[in-house]
Structure 1
Amino acid sequence: MSIFQYYVASTVDGFIASEDDDLGWLLQFDQVEGVSGSYESFFAGVGCIAMGGGTYRWLLEHEPGKWPYPDTPCWVFTHHEYSAPAGSNVTFVRGDVREFAPDLLADAGDKNVWLVGGGDLVAQFANAGLLHEMIVTIIPVVLGSGKRLLPLKGPTPPLELLSSRILGGAAAELHYRMPPR
């Protein structure tokens, strides 16, 4: 059965980007042993992607002319007008995530839906009871402020730790199951 997963990197103090969406703190760890293998293993189980407009805009600005997910259906939740890159399978939507959840799962087929990037969209899925797992790679950097990992209004019940591992002696990958909400 397909599920909604949040696969993301976070600083030790719980931020996924600086206030101005800078990811330089993260990109310096791209070559750390185990990081790319972890991503490739995770992505092999992804059948559909959902992201917010800010993440989509960031990808267009930082990967000009190259869409990183050409063979994977991608749904962008946004209030802005965008066009899809050539060769992509991008659908733009507005509205409550619950409305589109069945379509996302259908697009995923027998794989999972990856909730990419911004914590705000993922928080909408969590608040709707649609976030099933979080796979968080903790990067050994402290930003002090920025975009929060998962900006929920209140605490969750305890998450269930499914697995943990050290990547290259620098990062820790934690795989959690979310409690029902």
Structure 2
Amino acid sequence: MGEFVYYVGSSLDGYIAQDGGGLAWLEKFNDVEGLGDLYRDFEQGVGCVVMGGETYEWIRNHHAGEWSYKVPCWVFSRHEHTAPEGADVVIVRGDVAEFAEELRRGAGEKDVYIVGGGDLAGQFLAAGLVDRIVVTYVPVVLGGGVPLFGGRALPNARDFRLVGVSERAGTVELDYRLA
């Protein structure tokens, strides 16, 4: 059975986007040799993706006319959204724990990719549904924005162990698994 994996890029000070969702600071690292390969390798093991409504709208607005994911997608949102033509997108409302088994079934033997945002990742973490965190830190300090886990306090601390490190052009990818 696959795992719930939060795979994300972060500034050195722990933000995944600027206020308003800006990612230009992160996108300037798209051409770092090997980073794309790491992501493509990860993506091969993904059976479904989950994201929040703001992340979904950001993707739709910044990649108009195309849909990035070939696997089923669940969007957790309180708002109404439309799906791109031919995309397997389900809009849901409710606690992430209520959908855990459905997400596992949707992923099959592969992983559930928690795309973001930080608040949604924090909900999965608080529910005990994050098995692996892969975070790529880039050498940028934002001073504010969208926190890595949405600034959410956890009911219980979660311990992870480092299982991999990759450094490329000042970026560092850290791969953690639940201890």
Aligned partner of residue 20 in structure 2, secondary structure? coil
- Is the CA contact (8 Å cut-off) linking 1:51 and 1:116 kept in structure 2? yes
Partner of 2:26: 26
**RMSD over equivalenced CA pairs, Å:** 1.2
Q: Distance in 1 between matches of 2:146 and 2:13?
A: 11
Which amino acid in the other structure matches residue 42 of structure 2?
A: F
Which amino acid in the other structure matches residue 104 of structure 2?
A: L
1:32-181 matches, within 5 Å, as: 32-69=32-69, 71-150=70-149, 151-154=151-154, 156-167=157-168, 169-179=169-179
Q: Distance in 1 between matches of 2:126 and 2:158?
A: 13
Partner of 1:15: 15
**TM-score, normalisation: structure 2:** 0.95
Aligned partner of residue 49 in structure 1, secondary structure? strand
Q: Distance in 1 between matches of 2:31 and 2:85?
A: 29
Deviations 1:27-69 (A, max 9, x none): 0000001110011000000000000001001011101111111
Percent identity, aligned pairs only, is 46
Give 5+ residue unaligned stretches, structure 1: none
Which amino acid in the other structure matches residue 46 of structure 2?
A: V
Residues 52-61 or 143-152, more deviating = 143-152
Which amino acid in the other structure matches residue 21 of structure 2?
A: D
* Aligned length in residues: 177
Query: 1:157 Cα deviation (Å)?
Result: 4.2
Query: 1:96 Cα deviation (Å)?
Result: 0.7
Residues 92-101 or 155-164, more deviating = 155-164
Aligned partner of residue 109 in structure 2, secondary structure? coil
Runs ≥4 residues deviating over 4 A = none
Deviations 1:132-172 (A, max 9, x none): 110000011000111000123158344211111112x2200
Q: Distance in 2 between matches of 1:44 and 1:157?
A: 27
